[in-house]
Structure 1
């Protein structure tokens, strides 16, 4: 497919066809934050006390305050206990008032929850309080684990089954299990639904970006990723409004599921990646799609371009094994995965801490979404102006230094810490978007989907480990900041070893990565263990690559 870029330019590399595809794939991104961030609304722990209506049998006219004073013990700070009550007795109200109650016990008849902020959360519906309070963390962990597994599974699957299928199936997961989660009668079904929805989240995001990237020309290639992230930021801002209006986690889940139902219908009509079809040797299907794209864009593709690819009958092997065995691809993957992991870890650690500065939760999520919008617009502009390599290095290195500067802020200066944390968070958002774009361009078609999926998994792993890193503050408050700042600085420094990909055609063969490395370093390509599987391939582009390699040797 050395000629695919030429065919795409002839068919229109950013015409009406690509714009329709972008809108169709950007729309679900609008609702992905609902799945991830809604758990912070759904698991809100409201004020509560034990249900002590037993005393109303002795004194039906008691006010709520009198009832609490007689039946619920107080904490040392003077507030009523949230987990204990006085054991019921068969006394008259006068006796209770005269002698008082002394024997405490755990809540026997459930809890009474304050509904000032929310009508219902998973805490109030499933009574995840007191001795079950730790199960709240399980819900967040299960969702994160689902996202991680989804990235790992659907990434490599895309090399074998195509970009289209591994974009469509996660959408079904998102729709079905978001709906199931909102209707869950118990906590265990809710957890299972969260895990499955997380798999859909992890699978859809990166697969859709790969599909968009392979259909867009050089000049607008980063728009697929940055536009999807921009849509997600807008969704995060909208989500705070939906939760503010509904105040009920089940209703919010159902509202989130409705638009995903629409996506689950039209997603079956999106096109496959013609680049992947050519790589699989399915030239007739690829030709049909290219001609369809050209017709929608009102362009024509010369038949001579198709004749150049007609001889491509051998499928080049891809997948995790190829990514590991190729020295060049392995180095690239380890570097970009570290950068992605570090930016996600820093972003998540900062996000968990910034939300603890006392702002209203709805306002906090709204501000998070609104601050992301200009960040993604800036990301697209800088990527095309400066390039991927310099942009990512600057973002990670400056972001790491900003995080370290938090350590120099005097204790108690909350405003300064908040400003620095939000600035670093924006830089990490931009860094994650650049990693997503960069990953598509660093790897050839046979392993692009695998690299994107595993890179996304590294990002999800960073999010999963963030709470554990923040717990290191128990030993000293500066340890978490030092850990994620150091990783970010290391990731930014290693980006120097990667090639620039801005303005270059996507690589379609394993050999092209080696040749690109030679042109940039001046060294000959190392003997590749992949030669046996790729040497049989007869393709004009492959022949050109081998000739170039021979000249350099």
Structure 2
């Protein structure tokens, strides 16, 4: 379990910490000493100036590429409508039969008449036989894709479970990417690690598109998932570490919007190309451009300071000031203090107190349900009927307005209530889909799709709130490890999602397609109701110790609560 602590690098949760109401002011408040830290210094070097804007434009490349690869498996392993291929030459079958064939998805039957040896003329001497035959080839519809890995290697019928295995292994690679690249970035730096992740994604992305058979494909997709998550984590980390605390929550949402736009772009590529190999190659090519930007990117000054490389950090900060056309106070750079690692306790400390243990389990369960629902709805898209690309596009584009609305709702109505509302909304929409599936036909496909989009909308909104809740409910001394462990449960949920989505293809009758959304919906509703057991953290300062995290009433009674709340509201309105 302790290996899960590394799922999110220590610096990555800085952005999550600052989503609290008072984290903005806490980060900007000067120490009584003469030393200054980066949170105080960066706003004086131009804040979000030309340097940071250029950096964020560059970071859209790894985020967009990794975002497309996060659902690339939905395209590569898409299963179109299919049926057994009728043999053109019936000579290999029983010649005494007429050779008429009836085909279904997984079976082929040969019908024929056979002469009976009978001396009784009054009896018919013709017998009709139906013989089941092995199905080794299939005819596939090409209205959505001309070719997928599924159709190339016939991963249908008895082999269809291999699709879920491949998707599960990909998301397991995502878990490993969390651990591997998070630790590596702390060891050798953000810039080098990001370039390594992009290079691995370039090689594995191209190699995966030419996989000759199933097992090599699965191994390569595991590597793709690992590199994909590394790119996402490092891009977010670099983005957060080059800006001041007052911009992190807003720019974090901006990078999430880039992620959503990348998913929409993937739909456009699918419509134009319709071949999974060329789609994957096209998505991989932009990584070449980013790798060539080695000489443009700078190492994170925060990481340099944490390693005691103060002069290199000052050099980067001076470059930021020059690019932003700001003349920094030389004394500020001279007084720049080393970034000190916060002493942390083990995550097991949360389970020594009954109240904290229940809250921790509730947070873990909510991350699990969200990971399963968020990616499960994507994986279930091909079972929804209607236009596949329209479904993927709507499931992707809905994230953009939700991310923007979340910024307002969380600070207006509170974290707990908004999170419960989004979880309940998404869950109820998924469960309600059973009625149009069972009692309707093709004419109700738009309603089924609309309910699925609402379900995805709820999951996207809940993801935004659970990040805030996790950053605020856990005390500072275990926050990094606790948020990292929470994130791991989302990955476990995403690993189970392919198998639940597969239930939509094996169910009996019209009920089958509704089963996955019922499972996703029930899990989402249950997790949302349990979230009401969590304390309301809006209007509270962030807890620093285990004792403070137990009783949030003490944190809410801070004498500066009212003034700090007004300050945050003013910042949001501006």
TM-score between both structures, scaled by the size of structure 2 = 0.71
CA distance in 2, matches of 1:471, 1:45: 11
Residue of structure 1 aligned with 2:89, choices 42, 51, 54: 54
Structure 1 residues 392 and 460: CA distance shift in structure 2, 3 A: farther
Q: SS of the counterpart of 1:184?
A: coil
Structure 1 residues 266 and 185: CA distance shift in structure 2, 3 A: same
| Equivalent residue number for residue 12 of structure 1 | 46
CA distance in 1, matches of 2:468, 2:55: 17
CA contact 1:399–1:424 (8 Å) conserved in 2: no
| Equivalent residue number for residue 376 of structure 1 | 403
* Runs (5+) with no aligned partner, structure 2: 1-34, 113-125, 556-574
CA contact 2:202–2:284 (8 Å) conserved in 1: yes
1:500-519 equivalences under 5 Å are none
Residue of structure 2 aligned with 1:481, choices 513, 521, 536: 521
CA contact 2:472–2:537 (8 Å) conserved in 1: no
2:420 is the counterpart of 1:397: yes
Residue of structure 1 aligned with 2:68, choices 31, 34, 40: 34
After alignment, is 191-200 or 401-410 more displaced?
401-410
- Quote the offset at 1:270 in angstroms: 2.4
| Equivalent residue number for residue 373 of structure 2 | 346
CA contact 1:72–1:84 (8 Å) conserved in 2: no
2:199 is the counterpart of 1:172: yes
Structure 1 residues 344 and 499: CA distance shift in structure 2, 3 A: farther
CA contact 1:168–1:267 (8 Å) conserved in 2: yes
- Quote the offset at 1:375 in angstroms: 2.1
CA distance in 2, matches of 1:444, 1:405: 33
| Equivalent residue number for residue 427 of structure 1 | 458
- Quote the offset at 1:397 in angstroms: 0.9
Residue of structure 2 aligned with 1:84, choices 108, 118, 122: 108
CA distance in 1, matches of 2:48, 2:351: 34
- Quote the offset at 1:193 in angstroms: 1.2
CA contact 2:428–2:455 (8 Å) conserved in 1: no
- Quote the offset at 1:169 in angstroms: 2.4
CA contact 2:83–2:139 (8 Å) conserved in 1: yes
CA contact 1:167–1:204 (8 Å) conserved in 2: yes
Q: SS of the counterpart of 1:30?
A: helix
Count of matched residue positions in the alignment of Structure 1 and Structure 2: 484
- Quote the offset at 1:471 in angstroms: 8.1
1:194-205 equivalences under 5 Å are 194-205=221-232
CA distance in 1, matches of 2:195, 2:472: 23
Structure 1 residues 42 and 462: CA distance shift in structure 2, 3 A: same
CA contact 1:213–1:440 (8 Å) conserved in 2: no
1:328-378 Cα distance to aligned partner (Å, 9 max, x none): 9x9897775554333333334444556543221111112122222222333
CA contact 1:229–1:433 (8 Å) conserved in 2: no
Residue of structure 2 aligned with 1:43, choices 73, 77, 80: 77
| Equivalent residue number for residue 367 of structure 1 | 394
Structure 1 residues 20 and 237: CA distance shift in structure 2, 3 A: same
| Equivalent residue number for residue 21 of structure 2 | none
Residue of structure 2 aligned with 1:105, choices 123, 133, 148: 133
CA distance in 2, matches of 1:396, 1:167: 32
CA distance in 2, matches of 1:281, 1:446: 23
CA distance in 1, matches of 2:499, 2:535: 26
**How big is the alpha-carbon RMSD for the aligned residues of Structure 1 and Structure 2?**
4.2
1:458-504 Cα distance to aligned partner (Å, 9 max, x none): 32222223355678998996665333211133236426258857xx9
Structure 1 residues 99 and 113: CA distance shift in structure 2, 3 A: farther
TM-score between both structures, scaled by the size of structure 1 = 0.74
- Quote the offset at 1:185 in angstroms: 1.3
| Equivalent residue number for residue 22 of structure 1 | 56
| Equivalent residue number for residue 3 of structure 2 | none
Residue of structure 2 aligned with 1:465, choices 484, 496, 507: 496
CA contact 2:168–2:495 (8 Å) conserved in 1: yes
Residue of structure 2 aligned with 1:228, choices 243, 252, 255: 255
1:68-104 Cα distance to aligned partner (Å, 9 max, x none): x965643xxxx5454436599xxxxxxxxx9988544
CA contact 2:210–2:277 (8 Å) conserved in 1: yes
